[in-house]
Amino acid sequence: MNASLRSIRIAPKKAQLVAKMIRGKSVPDAMYTLERTNKKAARLLEGLLRSAMANASHNEKQDPQMLVIKTLIVNKAQCYHRGVPMARGRVRPMRKFMSHINLTLGVEGEDNKPKKKESTSQTAKKTVKKDTTSEMKPTSTKSKSEPKKDTTTSTSKSSVPAKAKAPAKKKATPKKS
Protein backbone atom coordinates (compact mmCIF):
# COMPACT_ATOMS: atom_id res chain seq x y z
CA MET A 1 0.00 0.00 0.00
CA ASN A 2 2.88 2.26 -0.91
CA ALA A 3 3.29 4.83 -3.66
CA SER A 4 6.16 7.16 -4.41
CA LEU A 5 7.16 10.06 -6.62
CA ARG A 6 10.84 10.37 -7.45
CA SER A 7 12.57 13.59 -8.56
CA ILE A 8 9.37 15.57 -8.91
CA ARG A 9 9.83 19.21 -9.88
CA ILE A 10 8.59 20.99 -6.76
CA ALA A 11 10.56 22.37 -3.84
CA PRO A 12 10.39 20.21 -0.69
CA LYS A 13 9.34 23.20 1.45
CA LYS A 14 6.29 23.79 -0.73
CA ALA A 15 5.35 20.10 -0.84
CA GLN A 16 5.79 19.80 2.93
CA LEU A 17 3.15 22.50 3.56
CA VAL A 18 0.46 20.46 1.82
CA ALA A 19 1.74 17.16 3.21
CA LYS A 20 1.25 18.44 6.77
CA MET A 21 -2.44 19.07 6.03
CA ILE A 22 -3.24 15.44 5.15
CA ARG A 23 -0.76 13.48 7.28
CA GLY A 24 -2.61 11.05 9.57
CA LYS A 25 -6.05 11.63 8.00
CA SER A 26 -8.33 8.99 6.53
CA VAL A 27 -8.25 8.58 2.76
CA PRO A 28 -11.67 10.20 2.04
CA ASP A 29 -10.83 13.20 4.27
CA ALA A 30 -7.43 13.61 2.61
CA MET A 31 -8.96 13.45 -0.88
CA TYR A 32 -11.55 16.07 0.11
CA THR A 33 -8.81 18.37 1.47
CA LEU A 34 -6.55 17.97 -1.57
CA GLU A 35 -9.34 18.56 -4.08
CA ARG A 36 -10.12 21.92 -2.48
CA THR A 37 -6.54 23.12 -2.01
CA ASN A 38 -5.26 25.51 -4.67
CA LYS A 39 -1.59 24.45 -4.77
CA LYS A 40 0.60 22.57 -7.23
CA ALA A 41 1.68 20.20 -4.44
CA ALA A 42 -1.99 19.35 -3.82
CA ARG A 43 -2.37 18.15 -7.43
CA LEU A 44 0.77 16.02 -7.14
CA LEU A 45 -0.22 14.51 -3.78
CA GLU A 46 -3.75 13.86 -5.03
CA GLY A 47 -2.38 11.76 -7.89
CA LEU A 48 -0.01 9.99 -5.51
CA LEU A 49 -2.87 9.20 -3.12
CA ARG A 50 -4.98 7.82 -5.97
CA SER A 51 -2.05 5.60 -6.97
CA ALA A 52 -1.66 4.31 -3.40
CA MET A 53 -5.42 3.62 -3.24
CA ALA A 54 -5.22 1.64 -6.50
CA ASN A 55 -2.24 -0.33 -5.15
CA ALA A 56 -4.17 -1.13 -1.97
CA SER A 57 -7.26 -2.37 -3.80
CA HIS A 58 -5.42 -4.29 -6.53
CA ASN A 59 -2.38 -5.74 -4.74
CA GLU A 60 -3.54 -6.06 -1.13
CA LYS A 61 -7.32 -6.51 -1.74
CA GLN A 62 -8.09 -3.73 0.76
CA ASP A 63 -10.98 -1.28 0.72
CA PRO A 64 -9.27 2.10 0.13
CA GLN A 65 -12.06 4.00 1.92
CA MET A 66 -11.17 2.28 5.21
CA LEU A 67 -7.45 3.17 5.08
CA VAL A 68 -5.48 5.94 6.76
CA ILE A 69 -2.36 7.80 5.66
CA LYS A 70 0.28 6.20 7.91
CA THR A 71 3.37 7.99 6.60
CA LEU A 72 3.91 10.79 4.14
CA ILE A 73 7.58 11.67 3.73
CA VAL A 74 8.90 14.54 1.61
CA ASN A 75 12.67 14.47 1.04
CA LYS A 76 14.97 16.76 -0.89
CA ALA A 77 16.27 15.39 -4.20
CA GLN A 78 18.95 16.78 -6.49
CA CYS A 79 18.64 20.34 -7.75
CA TYR A 80 19.00 22.09 -11.07
CA HIS A 81 21.69 24.77 -11.22
CA ARG A 82 20.52 27.79 -13.17
CA GLY A 83 21.67 31.39 -13.38
CA VAL A 84 20.14 34.86 -13.61
CA PRO A 85 22.09 37.44 -15.65
CA MET A 86 23.39 40.49 -13.84
CA ALA A 87 25.25 43.65 -14.78
CA ARG A 88 28.74 43.53 -16.33
CA GLY A 89 28.27 40.01 -17.64
CA ARG A 90 28.03 38.36 -14.24
CA VAL A 91 25.60 35.58 -13.30
CA ARG A 92 23.75 35.13 -10.04
CA PRO A 93 23.50 31.36 -9.34
CA MET A 94 20.07 29.89 -8.70
CA ARG A 95 19.14 26.39 -7.55
CA LYS A 96 15.79 24.82 -8.42
CA PHE A 97 14.99 22.03 -5.98
CA MET A 98 13.25 18.72 -6.62
CA SER A 99 11.56 16.32 -4.20
CA HIS A 100 11.12 12.64 -3.44
CA ILE A 101 7.69 11.89 -1.93
CA ASN A 102 6.76 8.55 -0.32
CA LEU A 103 3.24 7.68 0.83
CA THR A 104 2.17 4.67 2.90
CA LEU A 105 -1.43 3.73 3.63
CA GLY A 106 -2.44 1.50 6.52
CA VAL A 107 -5.34 0.35 8.65
CA GLU A 108 -6.28 2.53 11.63
CA GLY A 109 -4.78 1.29 14.91
CA GLU A 110 -2.70 -1.49 13.37
CA ASP A 111 1.09 -1.56 13.53
CA ASN A 112 2.84 -2.21 10.25
CA LYS A 113 5.55 -4.40 11.79
CA PRO A 114 4.26 -7.51 13.59
CA LYS A 115 6.28 -8.47 16.65
CA LYS A 116 8.03 -11.83 16.54
CA LYS A 117 7.45 -14.15 19.45
CA GLU A 118 10.41 -16.10 20.80
CA SER A 119 10.01 -19.79 21.38
CA THR A 120 10.74 -21.24 24.79
CA SER A 121 13.87 -22.99 23.51
CA GLN A 122 15.36 -19.65 22.40
CA THR A 123 14.71 -18.05 25.78
CA ALA A 124 16.25 -21.06 27.52
CA LYS A 125 19.41 -20.70 25.38
CA LYS A 126 19.69 -17.05 26.36
CA THR A 127 19.54 -17.86 30.08
CA VAL A 128 22.20 -20.56 29.67
CA LYS A 129 24.52 -18.08 27.93
CA LYS A 130 24.09 -15.57 30.75
CA ASP A 131 24.97 -18.18 33.39
CA THR A 132 28.14 -19.32 31.62
CA THR A 133 29.47 -15.80 31.14
CA SER A 134 29.16 -14.99 34.84
CA GLU A 135 31.26 -18.06 35.75
CA MET A 136 34.08 -17.15 33.35
CA LYS A 137 34.83 -13.79 34.94
CA PRO A 138 38.05 -13.90 37.02
CA THR A 139 37.74 -12.95 40.64
CA SER A 140 40.12 -10.47 42.18
CA THR A 141 42.43 -11.84 44.91
CA LYS A 142 43.62 -8.43 46.08
CA SER A 143 41.73 -6.80 48.86
CA LYS A 144 40.25 -3.40 48.31
CA SER A 145 42.10 -1.87 51.26
CA GLU A 146 45.58 -2.30 49.69
CA PRO A 147 47.01 1.00 48.42
CA LYS A 148 47.90 1.23 44.77
CA LYS A 149 51.60 1.34 43.92
CA ASP A 150 53.01 4.28 42.00
CA THR A 151 54.19 2.92 38.64
CA THR A 152 55.30 6.20 37.08
CA THR A 153 59.00 6.74 36.51
CA SER A 154 60.84 9.88 37.37
CA THR A 155 61.86 10.51 33.74
CA SER A 156 58.34 10.60 32.32
CA LYS A 157 56.74 12.83 34.93
CA SER A 158 58.21 15.13 37.51
CA SER A 159 56.67 16.80 40.47
CA VAL A 160 57.51 20.29 39.15
CA PRO A 161 54.57 21.98 37.44
CA ALA A 162 54.89 22.95 33.77
CA LYS A 163 54.85 26.70 34.52
CA ALA A 164 57.90 26.46 36.76
CA LYS A 165 59.91 24.70 34.03
CA ALA A 166 59.60 27.58 31.58
CA PRO A 167 62.56 30.01 31.76
CA ALA A 168 61.80 33.34 33.37
CA LYS A 169 61.53 36.26 30.98
CA LYS A 170 63.96 39.08 31.44
CA LYS A 171 62.53 42.50 31.91
CA ALA A 172 63.31 44.88 29.11
CA THR A 173 65.45 47.81 30.21
CA PRO A 174 65.25 51.11 28.36
CA LYS A 175 68.23 51.91 26.19
CA LYS A 176 70.36 54.81 27.24
CA SER A 177 71.29 57.30 24.54
Domain ranges of the chain: 2-107
Mean pLDDT taken over the chain: 80
Enter the pTM of the model.
0.60
> How many C-beta atoms surround the C-beta of residue 102 within 10 A?
16
Q: Is the pLDDT of residue 166 over 80?
A: no
Q: What is the per-residue pLDDT across 106-141, written as a single tens digit (0 to 9) for each?
A: 998 766 555 555 555 565 555 555 555 555 555 555
pLDDT on residue 109 = 73
145/9 Cα distance (integer angstroms): 72
Q: Is the pLDDT of residue 36 over 90?
A: yes
The CATH number for 2-107, chosen from 3.90.470.10, 3.30.590.20, 3.30.1330.90, 3.30.70.1280, is 3.90.470.10
Contact indicator for 103, 4 with CB cutoff of 8 Å: yes
Q: What is the per-residue pLDDT across 42-59, written as a single tens digit (0 to 9) for each?
A: 999 999 999 999 999 999
Could you write out the three-class secondary structure of the chain? Answer: CEEEEEEECCCHHHHHHHHHHHCCCEHHHHHHHHHCCCCHHHHHHHHHHHHHHHHHHHHCCCCHHHEEEEEEEEEEEEEEEEEEECHHHCEEEEEEEEEEEEEEEEECCCCCCCCCCCCHHHHHHHHHHHHHHHHHCCCCCCCCCCCCCCCCCCCCCCCCCHHHHCCCCCCCCCCCC
pLDDT class of 60 with cuts at 50, 70, 90: confident
